[in-house]
Amino acid sequence: MRNIRELPELLISQIAAGEVVERPASVLKELLENSLDAGATQIQVALDQGGAKRVQVDDDGAGIVHQDLGLAFARHATSKIGSLEELEGVATMGFRGEALASIAAVARVELVSRARDAAHAWSLAAEGGAARAPRPAARAPGTTVAVQDLYFNTPARRKFLRTEATEFGHCDDVFRRVALARSDLAFSLKHNGRVSAHLAPQPAAARAAALLGAEFAAASVPVEARAGPLRLHGLAGTPQAARNRADAQYFYVNGRFVRDRLLAHAVREAYRDTLHGERQPAFVLFLELDPRGVDVNVHPAKTEVRFREARGIHQFVFHALKRALAPSAAESPVSYATVASQGPAIQAALAMQEPVMAYRPAPAPLPVSEKAPPLGYALAQLHGVYVLAQNEAGLVLVDMHAAHERILMEKMKAGLDAGAIERQSLLVPAVFRAEALQVAIAEDNREALEKLGLELSVAGPNELAVRAAPALLAGGDVAALARSLLAELREFGAAQVLAARQNELLATMACHAAVRANRTLSIPEMNALLREMEQTERSGSCNHGRPTWYQLTLADLDRLFLRGR
Ligand SMILES: Nc1ncnc2c1ncn2[C@@H]1O[C@H](COP(=O)(O)OP(=O)(O)OP(=O)(O)O)[C@@H](O)[C@H]1O
Ligand SMILES: [Mg+2]
């Protein structure tokens, strides 16, 4: 072992740089954040060779006054905070006074800056941590920082850089994150001299469409919710905008892009009923709160945060998002213009071998209001699968099984939320054979089963009897339902089944009972189905995330027949 020695200044900086400057994209992130903090309205980015050769950011922000220039590259020198209180309420992107120092330790940096009322600009170069004396330069007010030859003095790190295309991809991600959050600013991005993005200031939704594509814009709903000092706003993709990869998920806290487990969980929960399987939602969401309620000084790249009121934040985000995602059909007759080849999946769902049950309409009378209902009135049934209806806009096509399933599920969910699903006693108990373990599970989980609308009793050492079943499902094969609930309880336990697996469970139950294909419905039954859809939350898609209805407007039909109007 050698003696303990102090590390040279440059080596300290190079080690620290490892945390902040992982790759060209991290340089870009730091430079962009500095431009935002300087109040820039126009930001231009130029990259060469994926950023490894050059990352340059040019802004029209406040600039740096001459006497501060000497400190720009100094470690732990910042203009943004001066005390612990200020750190706790930090509203700027930067606050550590570390980024430029770290970057200068591993690259050649040139900074040209002119403060708003300065007579001219100053230029300052730093290489391997050492800054030279500033020299007068020509420039309009604002700042340009050019970072060249990243890792020129740390070859071991240079080897970790990927291909030019990959590094550019990471830079593009960073650019996109910043540009999405600040649609009020103008941005441009050039790579190897070619313009790859050019964005004028625009409304947030237009910016999202420009960066995430028109399909996202068309298949997303606005989110806007407030509770005291909390605000959540942005765009939430509907199930139709869902993807196979989590590559369109943007969450910002006070303008800062974050990856936070608490927030990710709240979002996932809010989407749980509407997305099936492994589908990933797309969203751009902004959470605003008092900066004192969130600690951003958790991670070197500042992509993790810690909330003071974690539970409250989770609840707020979950409910706000869920509400935005669950408008009833009556409020927003969505036109599912993108229903593509969903046929086979629906057929598969309908082919399940469950007993045929009648769709029993609630005894609600037809509406007496003069205003036509959004989903219109039923005309006929097609091939025992679709209901055709006429509304003001034109023709409505409803997948009756999917729609009914969604209605049943939402009703049972409401019941469960209120304490228990409504039960109906059976005149004749349904007795079925059960293993000893099933009997034990039935006895041990009496309460959970009752919540789910089932009352079971032991009819013999190897027999169980269903005495009451969910009112909405009674008349179906209640023994089969009981068996599948017992299997679920056995595998996951009551707590899980009632909490984390509640939606899957309700979906299964609803699927058991929903009206099957090839069941003839009368016109009043079809109208009742339409009215219930209008009153049901999330009726736009079934429990598996497929659409339940589709609007063909008169214009769509005219187009089909090449008919001008
Ligand atoms: N584009 C810019 N316009 C105006 N001032 C700038 C710009 N870039 C850097 N500065 C000044 O240089 C200082 C150092 O920047 P640096 O990024 O190193 O630290 P910081 O932003 O304060 O904190 P952090 O390390 O958290 O980013 C800033 O505090 C700011 O005063
Ligand atoms: Mg900074």
541 CA to centre of ligand 1 in angstroms: 48
Write the DSSP string, 414-458: HHHHTTSPPEEEEEEEEEEE--HHHHHHHHHTHHHHHHTT-EEEE
- Strands of 283-288's sheet, edge to edge? 220-227, 230-237, 283-288, 249-253, 256-257
The number of angstroms, rounded, from the C-alpha of 253 to the middle of its chain's C-alpha atoms is 14
| Residue 367 reports pLDDT greater than 60 | no
Whether residue 35 has its Cβ less than 6 Å from ligand 1: yes
Overall pTM > 0.85: no
What is the model's pLDDT at position 516? Answer: 65
Whether ligand 1 lies within 6 angstroms of the CB of 541 is answered as no
Write out pLDDT tens, residues 462-484: 789 999 988 887 767 788 888 88
Q: Which two structure tokens, joined as six digits, stand for 283?
A: 């969203």
Percent of the chain with pLDDT over 70: 88
Mean pLDDT (whole number) for 127-153: 91
Q: Is 13 in the pocket of ligand 1 (CB under 6 A)?
A: no
**pLDDT band with cut points at 50, 70 and 90 for residue 343:** very low
In the predicted model, what is the mean pLDDT of residues 86-100? 88
Residue 234 has pLDDT above 90, yes or no: yes
| 294-295 vs 306-307, strand pairing mode | antiparallel
At 28-37, the pLDDT tens digits run 999 999 999 9
Predicted confidence band of residue 517 (pLDDT cuts 50, 70, 90): low
- Residue from 20, 31, 37 whose mutation best tests the ligand 1 pocket (most atoms within 8 A of CB): 37
Q: How far apart are CA 33 and CA 61, in angstroms?
A: 12
**Phi/psi of residue 343, nearest 5 degrees:** -45, -60
Mean pLDDT, the chain, rounded, equals: 84
334 pLDDT above the threshold of 60: no
Report the pLDDT averaged over residues 296-320: 88
pLDDT for 351 beyond 60: no
How sure is the predictor about 335, in pLDDT bands with cuts at 50, 70 and 90? very low
| Per-residue confidence (pLDDT) for residue 286, from 0 to 100 | 97
Mean predicted confidence (pLDDT) in 65-90? 87
Amino acid identity for residue 467 in this structure: R
- pLDDT level of residue 340 (50, 70, 90 thresholds): very low
Quick one: average pLDDT of 255-279?
A: 87
Cβ-proximal residues to 346 (8 Å cutoff; 6+ apart), any chain = 385, 399, 401, 402, 546
pLDDT of 429 strictly over 70: yes
Percent over 90 (pLDDT), the chain: 39
Residue nearest to atom 17 of ligand 1 (CA): 99
What ligand is nearest to the CA atom of residue 20? Answer: 1
pLDDT in the model for residue 344: 32
Whether 347 has a pLDDT exceeding 70, the answer reads: no
Q: Check pLDDT > 60 for residue 346.
A: no
Ligand 1 contact via 100 beta carbon (within 6 Å): yes
Question: What is the Å distance from ligand 1's center to 97 Cα?
Answer: 6
Closest Cα partner for 276 from 347, 205, 345, 191? 345
Please determine, for residue 378, whether its predicted confidence score (pLDDT) is greater than 50: yes
Residue 119 CA: distances (Å) to CA of 41, 60, 66, 145 = 21, 16, 11, 20
Average pLDDT over residues 197-204: 94
Please tell me the distance from the alpha carbon of residue 88 to that of residue 224, in angstroms, as a whole number.
Answer: 27
DSSP labels for 53-107? Answer: SEEEEEE-S----HHHHHHHTSTT--SS--SHHHHHT--SS--SS-HHHHHHHHS
Residue nearest to atom 30 of ligand 1 (CA): 79
In this prediction, residues 258-277 reach a mean pLDDT of 87
